[in-house]
Amino acid sequence: MNQKSLLVLIAAALALSGCGGPGPTTEAASARTTPDHDEHGEESSEPKPVALTPEQIQAAGIVVAEAGPAIIRETLPVYGVIAPNAERVRDVGARFPGVIRTVTAKIGDSVRAGQTLATVESNESLQTYAVVAPLNGVVSARQANPGEQTGDKVLFTIADLSSVWVELSLFPRDMAKVRVGQTVRVSSNDTGVNADGKIVYVAPFGSSANQTLTARVLLDNADRRWAPGLYVTAHVTLGENQVPLVVRNEALQTLENDNVVFVHAEEGFKPRPVRIGRADGQLSEVTAGLQAGERYAAANSYILKAELGKGSAEHGH
């Protein structure tokens, strides 16, 4: 769901909640849009909490998490491309030259080891035999049609895509930092998918064409989320640091030039200024402003910021 749809959804949920007469949500909405005042009757600059029902939180996709310790990774950002695992790709030809009689597999078909791909009539014996898949996988190439002579050409290529390679491009300045066995977080900006893999190979020679060195990551692909040919971003883990308190990066918003997280309390979500320390692609260390065990909006917190802004705009009229 995109940002506009989420905002429309949460606005509709708030409106519907107000239609049932006065209740907790109506009172909370009123509190959010009514300026707070101090003991002298002057308007307070401190924002009111954004109060949402559990149903509204769920509808908006807001995820509540608990602040606590975690590992912050020191990483090297690089780019790469998904490629078939060449150790799990097989070319299939005819055992004996002959005429192709039938073809039962086409490009894109999933096949099992031992499954018949085509039948061939031997030129010498005139006996028909089956050409079978040597492993489980997907037919990625086919050069076989009924009536053709097989010759010595490759008839089919079968690729087992249950694992794939990620070919990373390293610049010379980064070559000394990368080695076999390091963990790599691979991300697709197009699909939002993330996964961890290990570096299994670092090329001993660079490419004169683009002055880069290739490092290869083995990535599990049992659910077929990673399609060969797609470009990805990756973060090679260079080191790990245990820190006492972190929040997810998606939780951080900016209000009046301060980093804030929306802390979830009984009265609603309230923006809390925080001081940020070390960070990686997923987590940020909090050095001040938050306590371990406090619950906060860890995803889609921009909706809360938008609701807070709407309340401020209403106060200004």
Give residue 21's pLDDT.
37
CATH topology of domain 3-70+242-315: 2.40.420
For residue range 152-172, what is the model confidence (pLDDT) as tens digits? 999 999 999 999 999 999 998
User: Buried b vs exposed e over 260-279: b needs ≥16 C-beta within 10 Å?
Assistant: bbbbbeeebbbbbebebeeb
- Virtual CA dihedral for 131, 134, 225, 283, nearest 10 degrees? -170
What is the CATH number assigned to the segment(s) 73-85+162-241? 2.40.30.170
Give residue 2's pLDDT.
46
Q: What is the chain's mean pLDDT, rounded? A: 85
- Asked if the model's pLDDT at residue 142 lies above 50, the reply is yes
Instruction: Please give the backbone phi and psi of residue 58, each rounded to the nearest 5 degrees, phi first.
Output: -65, -45
Dist CA 109 CA 26 (whole Å): 56
Structure token digits, residue 3: 């940002």
Give residue 112's pLDDT.
97
Which position has the higher pLDDT, 315 or 299?
299
Average pLDDT of the residues in 265-291: 91
Q: Are 157 and 140 in contact (CB under 8 A)?
A: yes
Give residue 273's pLDDT.
94
- Asked if the model's pLDDT at residue 295 lies above 70, the reply is yes
CA distances to 92, 111, 132, 136, 204 from 114, rounded to whole Å, are 12, 9, 5, 9, 38
For residue range 198-246, what is the model confidence (pLDDT) as tens digits? 999 999 887 777 788 999 999 999 999 999 999 999 999 999 889 999 9
For residue range 62-121, what is the model confidence (pLDDT) as tens digits? 999 999 999 998 899 999 999 999 999 999 999 999 999 999 999 999 999 999 999 999
DSSP single-letter state for residue 205: S
Dist CA 90 CA 137 (whole Å): 10
**Portion of the chain with pLDDT greater than 70, in percent:** 83
* Domain ranges (residues) in the chain: 3-70+242-315, 73-85+162-241, 87-159
pLDDT band per the 50, 70, 90 thresholds, residue 28: very low
pLDDT band per the 50, 70, 90 thresholds, residue 282: confident
Element (H, E) at 261: strand 258-265
Instruction: Please give the backbone phi and psi of residue 147, each rounded to the nearest 5 degrees, phi first.
Output: 95, -15
Dist CA 55 CA 30 (whole Å): 18
> Which CATH architecture group holds 87-159?
Beta Barrel (2.40)
Closest listed residue to residue 50, CA positions, set 292, 298, 303:
303
- Asked if the model's pLDDT at residue 267 lies above 70, the reply is yes
